[in-house]
Structure 1
Amino acid sequence: MSEKVNKILSKLELNEFKLNSLLEITKGINNNFSVEKLLKIYEYILREQLGISRLILYNFNQKNWNCLLRYGAKGNARKINIHKDLLHIKDITVIESSSSASLNSFDIVIPIYHKKKPLSYLLIGDLNEDAIRISPTIKHMPFIQTLTNIIIVAIENKRFANESILQEITNKELEVASQMQRLLFPEHLPSNNRLDVAARYETQQLVGGDYYDFIKINHQEYVFCIADVSGKGVSAALLMSNFQANLKANVKYNHGQLTLEDLVHLLNEDVNNAAKGEKFITLFISYYNCTNRKLKYVNAGHNHPLLSDGKTFKLLNKGCIGLGMFDKLPSVEMEEIAINPGNVLVCYTDGLVELENEEGEQFETDRLHEIVKNNFHLSMKDLDKIIFHELDRFKGKKEFLDDTALLSCRFL
Structure 2
Amino acid sequence: MAVKSLKRAQNKIKIKDLKLDALLEVTLAINSNVTKEELFGIYEKVLRELDIEKIALYIYESEWNLATWYGLEGEKLNINVEQDLLIYEEIEEVNSKSEAIFDGFDLIIPVFHKTKPLAYLLIGDIINEAIQISPIIKHLPFIQTFTNIISVAIENKNLAKEAIRQERVKKELELASQMQGMLLPTTLPQDEHLDIAAFYKSHQQVGGDYYDVIWVNKTEIAMCIADVSGKGVSAAILMSNFQANLQAGVTHSVSLPELVQYLNDKVIRNAKGEKFITMFIATYNIESRQLTYVNCGHNPPVLKNGTEILQLKDGCPGLGMLDYLPSPKIGVIDLKQNASLVMYTDGLVEVENNKKEEYGTTRVMESIIKKKKASMAELNTFLMKDLEQFKEEEPFVDDIAILSCKFL
TM-score by length of 2: 0.83
Q: For residues 97-141 of structure 1, give each alpha carbon's deviation from its aligned partner in whole angstroms, at most 9, with x where no partner exists.
A: 7654x85445544332344554323344454989xx985561531
- Cα 1:232–1:96 change in 2 (3 A) is same
1:318–1:333 Cα contact (<8 Å) kept: yes
Q: Which residue of 2 aligns with 1:51?
A: 51
* Map of 1:79 onto structure 2: 76
* Alignment gaps of 5+ in structure 2: none
Give the Cα separation in 2 of the matches to 1:213 and 1:137: 72
The one-letter code matched in structure 2 to 1:79 is K
Deviation at 1:261, TM superposition (A): 1.9
Tell me: CA distance 1:31–1:266, structure 2 relative to 1, closer, same or farther (3 Å).
closer
- 1:277-331 per-residue CA deviation (whole Å, 9 max, x = no partner) reads 6654332211122344332222233333233357543443333344444444334
Equivalent pair of 2:56/2:68 in contact (CA under 8 Å): yes
Give the superposition deviation at 1:92. Answer: 4.3
1:61 counterpart = 2:69: no
User: Among the aligned pairs, what percent are the same residue?
Assistant: 48
Aligned residues between the structures = 402
Q: d(CA) in 1 for partners of 2:285 and 2:181?
A: 27
1:115-126 matches, cutoff 5 A: 115-125=114-124
Are the equivalent residues in 1 in contact too, given 2:348–2:400 (CA < 8 A)? Answer: yes
Contact preservation (8 Å) 1:277, 1:324? yes
Structure 1 residue identity aligned to 2:93 = T
Distance 1:40 1:314, change over 3 A: closer
Mapping of 1:294-373 within 5 angstroms? 294-308=290-304, 311-373=307-369
Question: Cα offset for 1:381?
Answer: 1.8
1:328-362 deviations in whole A, cap 9, x for unaligned? Answer: 43342223333344332211223323322222333
Q: What one-letter code is carried by the residue in structure 1 that aligns with 2:224?
A: C
**Residue in structure 2 matched with residue 263 of structure 1 by the alignment:** 259
| Match in the other structure for 2:245 | 246
The range that moved more, 287-296 or 88-97, is 88-97
Change (3 A) 1:275 1:226: same
Q: 2:125 touches 2:135 (CA, 8 Å); kept in 1?
A: no
The answer (yes or no) to whether the contact 1:93–1:110 under 8 Å persists in 2 is no
Q: Judge which range, 273-282 or 390-399, deviates more.
A: 273-282
**Superposed, which structure 2 residues align to 1:265-284 within 5 Å?**
265-274=261-270, 280-284=276-280
How far apart are the structure 2 equivalents of 1:27 and 1:270? 54
1:147 paired to 2:146: yes
Q: Is the 8 A contact 1:95 1:109 kept in 2?
A: no
8 A contact 1:57–1:123 mirrored in 2: yes
**How has the CA–CA distance of structure 1 residues 227 and 391 changed in structure 2, closer, same or farther, with 3 Å as cutoff?**
same
Question: Structure 1 counterpart of 2:404, which letter?
Answer: S
Counterparts of 1:6-17 in structure 2, within 5 Å, are none
Quick one: distance in 2 between partners of 1:136 and 1:403?
Answer: 61
Matched with 1:167 is 166
Tell me, in whole angstroms, the C-alpha distance in 2 between the residues paired with 1:121 and 1:362.
46
Specify which of 372, 380, 386 is matched with residue 390 of structure 1. Answer: 386
Amino acid at match of 1:366: T
| 1:41 correspondence with 2:32 | no
Check conservation: 2:284, 2:292, Cα contact below 8 A.
yes
Q: Distance in 2 between matches of 1:221 and 1:266?
A: 20
For 1:104-119, what aligned pairs fall within 5 Å after superposition?
104-119=103-118
* Equivalent pair of 1:311/1:373 in contact (CA under 8 Å): no
CA 312–155 in structure 1, closer or farther in 2 if over 3 Å, else same: same
- The 3 A distance-change label for structure 1 pair 313 and 140 is same
Equivalent residue letter for 2:353: N
Q: Is the CA contact (8 Å cut-off) linking 1:384 and 1:406 kept in structure 2?
A: yes
The CA deviation at 1:214 is 0.8
Q: What stretches of structure 1 of length at least 5 have no aligned partner?
A: none
- Render the CA deviation track for 1:23-55: whole Å, top value 9, x for unaligned: 44334434544434433433343223x233544
| Distance 1:148-1:207 versus aligned 2 partners, 3 A rule | same
Q: What is the CA deviation profile of residues 192-212 of structure 1, one whole-angstrom value per residue up to 9, with x for unaligned ones?
A: 333221111223233323221
Q: In the aligned structure 2, how far is the partner of 1:112 from the partner of 1:304?
A: 56
Partner-residue secondary structure (3-state), 2:40: helix
Return the alpha-carbon distance in structure 2 between the equivalents of residues 393 and 153 of structure 1: 47
Q: In 1, Cα distance between the equivalents of 2:306 and 2:336?
A: 12
Match in the other structure for 2:195: 196
